[in-house]
A and B are shown apart, each in its own frame.
Chain A
Amino acid sequence: MTTLEHDTSSSPEEDAEVSKQWTTRIRRRLVEMLPPERLIPDRQPSFLSSWIYIFGALTIGALAIIILTGMVLSLEGPGWWHTSSLGLFVNSMHLWSVELFFFCMVIHLWGKFFMAAWRGNRQLTWITGAVTFLVSVGAAFTGYVSQTNFDSQWIATQAKDGINSTGVGAFFNVLNFGQMLMWHIVLLPVGVLFLTGLHILMVRRRGIVPPFEDGVNDKSETVASGTQEGTPS
């Protein structure tokens, strides 16, 4: 009689083979980079007590509502909200979640600037955040020119001159509704979500930047390069 049950015991040869697998190596590397207690922490440094820290999470909250209301608008198509009171309400939610998203994001950005939050090998965290902001501007812009109303006509015809002047307008035609809608609902949201995810992972990996030391203008200390936190030697 044959059985489909596996023998869970493994030989030393098998263990050696498993440890060399790409899958095992990737998993090991990921866990080293971002152990679960750092990815989803239950404690934070005691300096983290200002209301400014909340704007990052508020930005993510607004982004979640943007995506959800955008998905509801997608169910009925781009013309729905012109003819349905429910559609108009969902569109209004979509609009105001975008306004709040940028409001919170800009406060978050200025807050991080004044914390010099790139210190201690956190430059990539800043860069992913800044690029997310710029890609979000593009995502919002393509939404504004996809409204299929007077605003979208006006914004598109005004914006074309700036974009055409760079040569980009030949390939990114703001007067082409179909092209702009695709950018708005597929390409740019994917970019924003990917960058936001990367940004959050960078935050979790490097941690929250500590405050400036007292006597911060004293530059007499030296630091060993290549260390995660820029530890003074």
Chain B
Amino acid sequence: MTKTKERRFNPDRDVNPWKGGYRPYDIAKEIVICFVVMLVLVVGLAIVFGSPDDKAVTIQTWSNANQVDFAQTAITELDGTSATAQYGPPYNNVADVSQKIGPFSPEALVGVHIPVNTAQDFVIGPLETVTNSPVLTMALNQFNAASPSQQANWESAYATAVQKAKVFHNVLVVPLARYGPVGIMIRQLTDMARSGALDTSMINQDHFYGTDYTKSLLYVADGTYFSDQGTALHLSGGQWGMMNETGNFPGQAWLWLYSFWYQIPPFTTAWEPNADILVSVLMMILSVLLILVPFVPGVRSIPRWSRVYRLIWRDHYKGRE
């Protein structure tokens, strides 16, 4: 016995079985034609427009293009004031920097899973791989043996001095100050960066093969050189950010709604400090709504109210008139 329950016919949920006519339809032929049409379009677009392939920024290209910016970034990695050093989870523990939605901070809850110690990983560790420079070895020994307050004084003095650094005859010149061994360390690190050795050191810190560029990318992104390149190519967050591509390519246009929220208040004003988590949660809610459209009262009635279906099935309705 079939159990049935009477319920009201809802035109936004229910439908009467089709009792009209049927006609021959070659679905296999349709699929083949669609594939061929797509193939022709794809080949044509590939020939006419190609695809963008701007070279990646390496630490080597960055430090050769702008030694001063590299040195200014390197000291912030050493003294712990860079964007990465102050990022918080999942890279490091920094108090009160995690974004929140109300009192809830998912990234703080998950904690540090990809540990990054910028002083050790970006400066001291790579310098310790250089074994043929007695001057550097002495500088590192002096720095490591010093008290934290002494280290902080040297770092502060260098951070101030490097703001007035210049390049003469392709050599970084930092005004003299009481920065102790830090001057030699950053000087050597800059040389290492310019030679390409720092790129290799960053990727292969733990093993021979490298496929994880997390630390290299964080390093490069901490400098102004990289962000200047992105801004010049109209790729910054205020310019619809990551949905763009270099050149005149459509990029990830389907992310327009995600990028859209970053362009308008309150995400650019009062909510700006927590914009990432707020936009992410908003997009999750909208995604769930998209999936559940058939069950959302009001939303599922829009097709009927809008009467766009009269256009889609115009032949059907014309036949009934």
**Assembled-state Cα–Cα distance A216/B316 (Å):** 15
A113 engages B220 (CB within 8 Å): no
**Which chain A residues numbered 89 to 135 have a C-beta less than 8 Å away from chain B?**
89, 91-97, 99-100, 102, 106, 111, 113-116, 118-120, 122-123, 126-127, 130-131, 133-134
A57-B34, A151-B246, A158-B237 given; A170·B89 CB < 8 A: yes
**Which chain B residues numbered 115 to 170 have a C-beta less than 8 Å away from chain A?**
none
The residue among A50, A92, A100 with the most chain B CB atoms within 10 A of its own CB is A92
B293 on the interface (CB 8 Å rule)?
yes
Number of interface residues of A (CB under 8 A): 108
User: Which residues in A have their C-beta under 8 angstroms from that of B20?
Assistant: 45-47, 210
A92 engages B51 (CB within 8 Å): yes
A77 on the interface (CB 8 Å rule)?
no
A65 engages B242 (CB within 8 Å): no
Interface string of A157-194 (1 = CB under 8 A from B): 11101111111011101011111010000000000000
**Assembled-state Cα–Cα distance A210/B12 (Å):** 12
User: Which residues in A have their C-beta under 8 angstroms from that of B111?
Assistant: 170
A225 on the interface (CB 8 Å rule)?
yes
A116 engages B309 (CB within 8 Å): yes
B56 engages A149 (CB within 8 Å): yes
**Assembled-state Cα–Cα distance A21/B9 (Å):** 41
Q: List 14 A-B contacts (CB under 8 A).
A: A40-B27, A41-B27, A60-B34, A61-B35, A106-B254, A113-B293, A113-B302, A137-B252, A150-B229, A165-B280, A210-B20, A214-B317, A219-B11, A224-B4
**Assembled-state Cα–Cα distance A156/B320 (Å):** 55
B29 CB to nearest chain A CB (Å): 10
User: Which residues in A have their C-beta under 8 angstroms from that of B53?
Assistant: 81-82, 88, 91, 147, 149
User: Which residues in B have their C-beta under 8 angstroms from that of A179?
Assistant: 211-212
B10 on the interface (CB 8 Å rule)?
yes
A149-B55, A233-B6 given; A223·B14 CB < 8 A: yes
**Assembled-state Cα–Cα distance A116/B65 (Å):** 57
A64-B35, A175-B213, A210-B16 given; A96·B49 CB < 8 A: yes
User: Which residues in A have their C-beta under 8 angstroms from that of B300?
Assistant: 116, 118
**Assembled-state Cα–Cα distance A131/B290 (Å):** 9
Number of interface residues of B (CB under 8 A): 112
A156 engages B16 (CB within 8 Å): no
B107 on the interface (CB 8 Å rule)?
yes
B7 engages A170 (CB within 8 Å): no
Interface string of B268-300 (1 = CB under 8 A from A): 000000101101110000010011111100001
Binding site for B on A (CB under 8 A): 40-50, 52, 54, 57-58, 60-62, 64-65, 81-82, 88-89, 91-97, 99-100, 102, 106, 111, 113-116, 118-120, 122-123, 126-127, 130-131, 133-134, 137, 140-141, 144, 147-159, 161-167, 169-171, 173, 175-179, 181, 207, 209-214, 216-217, 219-227, 229-233
User: Which residues in A have their C-beta under 8 angstroms from that of B287?
Assistant: 134
Contact of B320 among A165, A214, A220, A225 (CB under 8 A): A214
A225 engages B42 (CB within 8 Å): no
User: Which residues in A have their C-beta under 8 angstroms from that of B12?
Assistant: 116, 119
B69 CB to nearest chain A CB (Å): 16
**Assembled-state Cα–Cα distance A47/B17 (Å):** 13
B294 engages A118 (CB within 8 Å): yes
B214 engages A137 (CB within 8 Å): no
**Which chain B residues numbered 238 to 284 have a C-beta less than 8 Å away from chain A?**
241-242, 245-246, 249-250, 252-255, 258, 274, 276-277, 279-281
A99 engages B217 (CB within 8 Å): no
